[in-house]
Structure formats: C-alpha cells, structure tokens
Structure 1
C-alpha cells in the first residue's frame, strides 16, 4: 500500500525525473516555459542627418577582399607625371592613326587637288554664273596653264570648279522644297526623294560619260573632278527655271528652253578645249575628230533632258482656267 502511494506521487510530481532514463542521454532537466519564446525585437537605430547635412552612402566592401586594391588605379591616375605620360601616349596614337588615314586617302584622292577646285572668290563666282546663263557673247574659251602649277579657278574664268556646283545642288533641293510647300505637297520624305533622285542621276551621268571616253578611246585632259564640275553646272539653270515658275508658272517651258540651250552651249564650248586631238599614230584623224564631236554632243545633249526630268515634278504648274 505504501509502495503504490509513492508511485502515484512520483507520477503527479511534474519535476520528477524519469525512473528509467534512456541509455547514452543525460537525464532531462526541469522544464523552462520561456525557452521556446523569441527574444525581444530591438530594431537598429536609423541614421538621422543633422539639419544642413546630407547623407553620404558608404561603399559596401566585399568580405575577404582588401578595399585598398580597388583604389589603386585611381591613385595612379591622380599622379600628375603618370597622367601626363598617358595623355602624351594617347595623343601619339591619335596622330599615328590620322597619318595612316591620310596616307590611305591620298592614295585614291588628293586633298590638294580637291582644294584646287574650291579655290574661288566672290568675283569669280559672279562672273561664272553670268557665263553659264549668258554664254553666247563669250569669245575666249581657252584655259591658261602655268608650267609650275595649275592656275586656280579664281584666276581663270574658264577653269572648272566644284564650289558653284555643290552650292547649286543644295540650293536646288531647298528651292524645290519651297515650290512643293507652295503646292501643299511638302514633306520631309519628298525632299529626301528629290535630293536622292538628283544624286543618283548625277552619278549615272558621270559613269556614262566616263564609260563613253573609255569605249571610244578618246584622249582628253578631263579628270573625274572635271567631269563632275561640268556636268553639275546644270543645277544653276535648274534653279533659275524653278524660280521663274514660282513667279510666273506659265513661263516654265520658255525658261527651260532658253536655260537648256545656254547650258548646252556653255558645256560644249568649255569641253571642246579639254578634249585632245588624236595622236599622229592613229588610224584615221577624221574618225577621231568625229568621235570627239559625238562625245561633246552626248554630254551637251543629255543636259536638257536631265533638267526637264528633275524639274517637271517640282516646278509650280501653270493654272488652267
């Protein structure tokens, strides 16, 4: 009876240990009710800048890496001697690259030759424009040459240049845009199409003339820049034709006929002195003269066609009542 009471008291006592603990494990201690509760939350203090100060974020470092190694290139570049050496080395590289580009470019195009075609002044431009539009009264079409160096266009009226053709091309595109605007047909796309069409036809014209010279075996003083210059003088006449159509639309065809005749006469007379006669060893001098005449007629004859083709959609049409 007493033994049964002791067993019951042992079962009722929560702090009593197990009568037979498992082998290899220590006997369990008294139960703590707070052992499974989370510790109290203590938030980290938030940085509050003082009035008038700004927060500057600090760079985060990588664990196990010395942060001083990242600042080494910056410290090297901050050295004046090293910075000057790097600057001089970069300038030398740029200079060497420019020399290589100039050498490669000069193998195909001579910059001094291009500068020659743009050596003009105001007096030359005014006289040349008058010669293109009114060539019928001009007598001396010969080009004077200097034995030491070629005569620049500003010193020789009959010499070809590229300044007037380039400016005339840009002006033609702009005045074409004005004409399209007055017709309420202007758009950036139409202006681009006009410029692209004129450029494509110009390239085709130069290729056709150059191919004709090659096929007919005609010896001449003409270079690719001379052909470009003479074939681009028509833009001066095209500007006049469009300007006349803006003032008087009904006079478009009259202006086109006169300007076409003037440009064709100017081109034939200017190119006539540029084409060399056949060599004495040729088979037939008369046949060579005919070929040169055909070349001049071809170059002069395509000018009115191109002028009409490039201005027919741009010029202000005559109003019909």
Structure 2
C-alpha cells in the first residue's frame, strides 16, 4: 500500500526537487536590493559630503598652483607697474569674479591685474640671487658657499614676510586667505629688492635712494592689498587695531629690505 522505494536496497532513490517559493525569492531580491541601494546611497552621501568638505577646506587654504602661472607679457608689465608704482594705480584694487560650477571664482591673473601670481615672485627671487652673486663678485667675495647663504637668506626673508601677513590676518579674524595668495603677495618684495641691488651695482650711491623707495612702494602695495582682503573677508573688526596693524606691515618693510639688501658674506647682518 505504501511506496517505500527509498528504503528498498538496490532501487535508486528519486531526487527530491522541492517546489520553488516565488514569494521567498521575491522577498529576498527586494530585501537585498533595498539593502544594497540604501547602503550605496548612504555611502555615496557620506563620501560625497566628506569629499566636498575636504575640497572646500583645502580650497580655503590652498589653491590650484596652475592658477598662479596663467600670465602673459602684458600682465607682467602692468603688474610690475602696480608693485613698483602703486600710487599711480588709478583702477580699483578688488579682484574680478566669475561663476564657475555654480560658485563664484576669481579670474586668473591673465584677466585680472589685481590677482596674485607666483611667476613674478619666483622670477624676482631668482634675479635677486643672481644679482647678489654678481655684487659679491664685484666685491671679490664670491664663493659658492656665500651664494648658498644668500639663497637661504632670501628664502628666510620670504618666510618672514609670509608670517607677517598671515599673523596680521589671523589677529584681525581673517585667516582664510589661501596660503599661495599670501606667498605671492610676500614674494613681490623681491621686485623692489632687485631694483635696489641693481642700482647699487650700477652706481653705489643710488642704493640709498632706491632702497627707501622700494620699501615705501612695497608698503603701499601691501596696505592696499591687505585692506582689500580684510574688507572682503572680515565681518567685524576693531578699526583702530586694523589701521595700526596695516601701518605695522608698511613700517616692517624697511628693516626687512635693509637686511635683505645688505649683500655680504655674513648673511645674518
């Protein structure tokens, strides 16, 4: 009466094929899809937000280095006029913005005379080292070691200028200026320094006129530039403190230029 084939020896046991459960497969597919989709969206949201956070914070302190080398001959000529003759600059000192990717971004130096660049500072620094070596050669004090010390002296002077500008912005509640911007503004000091050192090489006594002139022009340029940065970024600040610190920036150019302009074997003096 009962079919017990599976229990009889020598008789093959029929395979057991359970009926598929359509509800279970559908629930499993829907559940796994929901989990994958939910986790994927959540992970993308986390990674996207963190990426935007990192990019926004990096852009606050650093910028694209290529931006600072987008220059041409016309920009270099006009920029040198602004740095060496800032009181003759009749235009505004604010930078030009343009919408990029839904946000406002500054135009590169080739389109904006007020934009900072690193081409002129690096070229001026290299020229300063070459002129310093030539000056030592004329004094018959040239040596590779002395030129190395002058190179380090110039870098240290550049670092002091960057520190001065950065500390000033931080003390006034505006420390968000990109570091490469401040590096460019500080490096413009070597343009006037090159002029003063070249004047000393050509005619010794012209140095005593060109050096104060370069200090004065650099002080005016930095005061105008820092005022623009402060007005654009600082929401509230002490007006008296603001003016005192800007005056300090201008006055600090005189000892800095005097120290860098003293081309000697002893780089400390």
> What TM-score results when the alignment is normalised by the length of structure 1?
0.58
Aligned partner of 1:132 in structure 2 is 83
1:205 aligned partner: 161
Q: Is 1:160–2:116 an aligned residue pair?
A: yes
Aligned to 2:204: 249
Judged with a 3 Å threshold, the aligned counterparts in structure 2 of structure 1 residues 209 and 127 are, in CA distance, closer, same or farther, namely: closer
Distance 1:290 1:132, change over 3 A: same
Query: Alpha carbons of 1:221 and 1:294: their partners in 2 closer, same or farther (altered >3 Å)?
Result: farther
1:222 to 154, 173, 177: 177
2:129 pairs with 1:173: yes
User: 2:209 matched to 1:262?
Assistant: no
Equivalent pair of 1:221/1:274 in contact (CA under 8 Å): no
**Residue aligning to 1:49:** none
- Give the alignment partner of residue 95 of structure 2, picking from 143, 147, 159: 143
- The residue aligned with 1:301 is 251
Aligned counterpart for 1:123 among listed residues 74, 77, 80: 74
Gaps of at least 5 residues in structure 1 are 1-105, 315-321
Contact 2:220–2:250 (Cα < 8 Å) also in 1:
yes
Q: Secondary structure at the match of 1:146?
A: strand
Farther off after superposition, 171-180 or 107-116? 107-116
Q: Distance in 2 between matches of 1:240 and 1:217?
A: 32
Say which SS state the counterpart of residue 147 (structure 1) adopts: strand
Shift in Å at residue 240 of structure 1? 0.5
CA RMSD of aligned residues (A): 2.4
Could you tell me how far 1:158 is from its partner in structure 2? 1.0
Deviation at 1:289, TM superposition (A): 2.0
Partner SS, residue 120 of structure 1: coil
Is the CA contact (8 Å cut-off) linking 2:62 and 2:180 kept in structure 1?
A: no
Greater Rg by CA: 1
When residues 111 and 258 of structure 1 are mapped into structure 2, their CA distance, relative to the original with a 3 A threshold, is closer
Residues 207, 112 of structure 1: alpha-carbon distance in 2 compared, 3 angstrom cutoff: closer
Does residue 313 (structure 1) correspond to residue 256 (structure 2)? The answer is no
Q: Write the distance in 1 (CA, Å) between the matches of 2:234 and 2:83.
A: 29
**TM-superposed deviation, 1:250:** 1.3
Distance change in 2, residues 1:223/1:130 (3 Å): same
Distance in 2 between residues matched to 1:273 and 1:208, nearest whole Å: 17
Q: How far off is 1:202 after superposition? A: 1.9
How far apart are the structure 2 equivalents of 1:272 and 1:303?
Answer: 17
More contact order relative to length (CA 8 Å, sep ≥ 6):
2
Q: Give 5+ residue unaligned stretches, structure 2.
A: 1-54, 265-269
TM-score, length basis structure 2: 0.69
Preserved CA contact (<8 Å) 1:278 1:289: no
- Residues 113 and 205 of structure 1: CA distance in aligned 2, closer, same or farther (over 3 Å): same
Determine which structure has the larger helix proportion and give its number.
2
